[in-house]
Structure 1
Amino acid sequence: MATDRFSDHRPQLLIGGEFRDAGRAPSIPVINPCTEQVLWEQPACDADDVREALAHAVPAQESWAELHGWERARILRRVAEEMRSRTQDIARALSLEIGRPVAQSAGEVGAAIEQVEWFAGEAERLFGQVIASRQGGRLLTEPEPVGICAAFTAWNFPVNLPVRKMAPALAAGCAILVRPSEQVPLTTTLIMQAFVAGGVPAGVVQLLLGRAQDISPVILAADEVRKISLTGSTRVGQMMMAEAARTVKRCSMELGGHAPVVVAADADVRSVARQCAAFKFRNAGQVCIAPNRFYVEEAVADEFIDVMKHEAEALILGDSQDEATTMGPLTLASGRDKVERLVADAMERGARLVTGGQRPKGRNAGYFLEPTVLADVPDTCDIMSEEPFGPVAPVATFRDLDDAIARANATPYGLAAYAFTGDQDKAHRLSRKLHAGMVGINTFMIAHAEAPFGGVDHSGMGREGGPDAIKDYQNTKLTHMMAG
């Protein structure tokens, strides 16, 4: 059994420096999306558990903020080494809990380690400014930690998402409470074990597993919590921001996306189509910055679609623990239901099914769906305005580049956008005109530890990664210093 190696591992809460096998709320089963069988039971917090964690966080915040940034950096670098030594276990837990092929899972752990190492360096560079005052003396600016933070994360990247919030918070001098998705409790427990083993003091990081309705309201109402960070849907983000406003909490939000791809005829179309397929079907399409809407210049559309079809049909669907598998199931049954609805709607409105669109034959369990390519997709289809979060690629055509840009920008989202062209003037024009927080020109590689990650409009606010991210966890204090 793939889970045999985890006989010594189990999901646990982390409260006040203590790993706990049970909370005060009933436990929650975690379902394997490949088999629909229970993997393990996770302990769950109730409101009293959350209040206890807050009580631990208050003194921990004070002592952690007093620690010099260089010492926080040393601890973070030890955390990175602890994560590195646990890479295979974390990757295996991730693969079991969300259904991503195990051969593709360790890379996410490596990306999270890069985040920890980057922000260790940022902790050593927490400098203010000295400004000559026109009224005499000096104006001193100094960064201070914003205070206790809370992170709410989704299941689709269960290592990188929490770590991308924890690392800058800790570097800035903030204690942090983490409430991950109910689908990934063991993955998050293993991450927390690395943080504790690396030397993060009790109460500075705490893990609150359980149901959102038992945890989130207590955190959002608590004046002690001064910042929240969410990776989730736009709908949940809107609700959290409304509640956070009651206690004037700072918010950073990575919310929904619906990334367009514009492919010009002067691009290397066959190479571009192979890249599009690789990134579209990665993690079964369950990626916030996945390419979702393909606008291909009419002259090369047939060639583009042929290559996409070939690449989709070459994928090997199977159990996430099989090294030969190149695409696993969707993580949730509701996710598969949504994709099937969007495909059916598109076909009813005139789209052509090129390949896929069905549950694979011979699989009676698991949330599997064939990688799907649709052609001639009208802009009126739901899939062109609603994020599918699944393995389906709708392709539409264009003749005029300005028209393609307008259609690419025709949703309220603005997380990521991509374009492929061999013309440098077009490349700069597309970079300027595509409305998104991140744009990839002739590449899909837009997530880097050293660069800002985030969206605009209904895709959220704030940035994770790069030198801007730590500022979301800091206040800036001004002192006008005059001679006595």
Structure 2
Amino acid sequence: MTAYPELGLYIDGEWIGTAGREKMAVLDPATGESLGDLPLAGAADLDRALEVADRGFRRWRDTAPEARATILLRTAALIRERIDALAEIATREQGKILAEAKGEGLAAAAMLEFQAGETVRIYGRILPRPAGMRSLVLHQPVGPVAAFCAWNFPLLNVVRKISPAIAAGCSIILKPSEETPGSAVAILKCFQDAGLPGDVAQILFGVPDMVSRHLLASPVTRKLSFTGSVPVGKHLARLAADSMMKTTMELGGHGPVLVFDDCDLERTLDTLVTHKFRNAGQVCVAPTRFYVQDGIYEAFAQGFAERTRKVKLGSGLDSGVQMGPLANPRRPEAIGELIEDARSAGARVLAGGSVIEGKGFFFEPTVIADVPLEARAMNEEPFGPLALMRPFGTIEEAIGQANRLPFGLAAYCFTENARRQNLLADAIEAGMVSINATRLTWPDAPFGGMKDSGFGSEDGPEGIAAHLTTKAVHIA
């Protein structure tokens, strides 16, 4: 088994341990046992990181795009070389099955490779003017970035923050989740070994509110990038507003799924059950609210439940396991409360519905049919292995239900009717819509939401553009 990494802060190219600092235990969600102690940054650490990021930015912004691209490509190569060890670290501290963790790491490498190519395509333009005049539009790096990412994709989320920032010419201070620090440490060591200067990317762990207030109050910080819950995102956006810094917010979702009676039912079920319970449903773009046309509703619900009961639970490190534990001890209780609320409102539990007793933070994959709209689970993001089902009659009704909530991150539609596909693509209020498929993350495609699910995009050329500021220059 791969050794769990020694945890530390990374400031100015130096790894800093627990000596003289508060610390917290990192837990294995499959056993509840401690994997190691994580040092928490104090105010002096944050001040030092800000000073270093300011210095690093002033040097890095003048570094040739080709040199930045080379480091991104070297980092991608190291991730591919170390993928087995990286996947095992992510599984041990987050819980997802090993195959999913490996896929996540390879997606991170592909993202680095794409953005390496984009570093040399940060184009401006020349505007037509009378002879002897020039008007230029320049896109320049915005400055040091403060980035915060969630625990559910501990390898990919780290790359998703660091890669576009340094591709654009920015420095970055990253605060990954304190619940999955080993993955962040291992990824940053890939950047370090690829030759990234220590003053360009740094990682800090600490009390989240203290760290965010300190970094966002500094005049050094010129951009906020956040992945996490809607309430925390709104709180950070208010802090960022005091200095009018640029922001990218990738917040929570409550993914609607519209299943029409002309779909390929068996293929649709196979696709959706697998995707629903990926990472135990702890995915911001997870399909969650299943609206199924009347004629196939009962067949769909029973088919979904039948497949769900066959999902094998266990440690993500064990062969044959299809779903691991929830990430922390808070999640099983939260999912249980949502299920009991729905049950008391008249919903039918067709599969699962219970905590798995014993070591670790396991919860059965669960299917609930006939869920009333007033049930909490139909209005609050469950962020767990919970599939909610309701029937619909017309396309207008389905669209209305899909757009009912303030969330607008991801949506899924299953229909073979091409005219209907075009209508749904236009009408659904979500930053990402997938039709007859479930994959939404591609290196060249923007990733982001609308409404309460945030604003701005990560990934693709848009991810780098989010780290640039526009300047007009007029020369006579």
TM-score range, shorter chain: over 0.9
Of 292, 296, 301 in structure 2, the residue corresponding to residue 296 of structure 1 is: 292
2:332 is aligned with what amino acid?
A: R
1:54 is aligned with what amino acid?
A: L
- Match in the other structure for 1:446: 440
Q: Distance in 1 between matches of 2:234 and 2:384?
A: 23
Of 94, 97, 116 in structure 2, the residue corresponding to residue 98 of structure 1 is: 94
1:322-341 aligned within 5 A = 322-341=318-337
Q: Distance in 2 between matches of 1:162 and 1:101?
A: 19
1:417-428 aligned within 5 A = 417-428=411-422
1:379-458 aligned within 5 A = 379-458=373-452
1:351-366 aligned within 5 A = 351-360=347-356, 363-366=357-360
- Match in the other structure for 1:160: 156
Of 14, 17, 21 in structure 2, the residue corresponding to residue 18 of structure 1 is: 14
Q: Is the 8 A contact 2:336 2:355 kept in 1?
A: no
CA displacement, residues 272-295 of structure 1 (integer Å, 9 cap, x when unaligned): 111111111100000000001000
1:424 is aligned with what amino acid?
A: A
Q: Give the alignment's Cα RMSD to 1 decimal.
A: 1.2
- Match in the other structure for 1:375: 369
2:223 is aligned with what amino acid?
A: K
- Match in the other structure for 2:37: 41
In structure 2, the gaps of 5 or more residues are none
CA displacement, residues 376-428 of structure 1 (integer Å, 9 cap, x when unaligned): 11112111111100001011001111011101110000000111001111111
| Distance of aligned partners of 1:24 and 1:230 in 2 relative to their CA distance in 1, 3 Å threshold | farther
Of 3, 8, 23 in structure 2, the residue corresponding to residue 6 of structure 1 is: 3
Moved more, 233-242 or 17-26: 17-26
1:13-412 aligned within 5 A = 13-22=9-18, 24-133=20-129, 137-360=133-356, 363-412=357-406
Shift, 1:134, TM fit: 5.4
Q: Distance in 1 between matches of 2:78 and 2:19?
A: 26
Q: Distance in 1 between matches of 2:100 and 2:459?
A: 22
CA displacement, residues 307-344 of structure 1 (integer Å, 9 cap, x when unaligned): 21122111111112212211111112211111111111
In structure 1, the gaps of 5 or more residues are none
| Distance of aligned partners of 1:191 and 1:60 in 2 relative to their CA distance in 1, 3 Å threshold | same
Q: Distance in 2 between matches of 1:242 and 1:213?
A: 13
Q: Distance in 1 between matches of 2:242 and 2:86?
A: 37
The DSSP-based 3-state class of the residue aligned with 1:142 is strand
TM-score by length of 1: 0.96
Q: Is the 8 A contact 2:332 2:355 kept in 1?
A: no
Moved more, 289-298 or 138-147: 138-147
Q: Is the 8 A contact 1:437 1:454 kept in 2?
A: yes
Shift, 1:37, TM fit: 0.9
The DSSP-based 3-state class of the residue aligned with 1:108 is helix
- Match in the other structure for 1:460: 454
Q: Distance in 1 between matches of 2:123 and 2:348?
A: 57
Structure 1 segments, 4+ long, off by >3 Å, are none
Q: Is the 8 A contact 1:24 1:46 kept in 2?
A: no
Q: Is the 8 A contact 1:103 1:323 kept in 2?
A: no
Q: Is the 8 A contact 1:156 1:287 kept in 2?
A: yes
The DSSP-based 3-state class of the residue aligned with 1:350 is coil
Moved more, 329-338 or 146-155: 329-338
Shift, 1:11, TM fit: 1.3
2:344 is aligned with what amino acid?
A: E
Q: Is the 8 A contact 1:418 1:441 kept in 2?
A: yes
Matched length: 476
TM-score by length of 2: 0.98
Shift, 1:165, TM fit: 1.6
Q: Distance in 2 between matches of 1:277 and 1:186?
A: 30
1:163 is aligned with what amino acid?
A: V
Q: Is the 8 A contact 1:151 1:176 kept in 2?
A: yes
The DSSP-based 3-state class of the residue aligned with 2:279 is helix
The DSSP-based 3-state class of the residue aligned with 2:222 is strand
1:453 is aligned with what amino acid?
A: F
Q: Distance in 1 between matches of 2:466 and 2:304?
A: 40
Q: Distance in 2 between matches of 1:291 and 1:202?
A: 39
The DSSP-based 3-state class of the residue aligned with 2:262 is coil
Q: Distance in 1 between matches of 2:337 and 2:130?
A: 65
| Distance of aligned partners of 1:152 and 1:394 in 2 relative to their CA distance in 1, 3 Å threshold | same
Q: Distance in 1 between matches of 2:403 and 2:123?
A: 39
Identity %: 38
Shift, 1:135, TM fit: 8.6
Q: Distance in 2 between matches of 1:52 and 1:473?
A: 23
CA displacement, residues 210-229 of structure 1 (integer Å, 9 cap, x when unaligned): 22133211101111010010
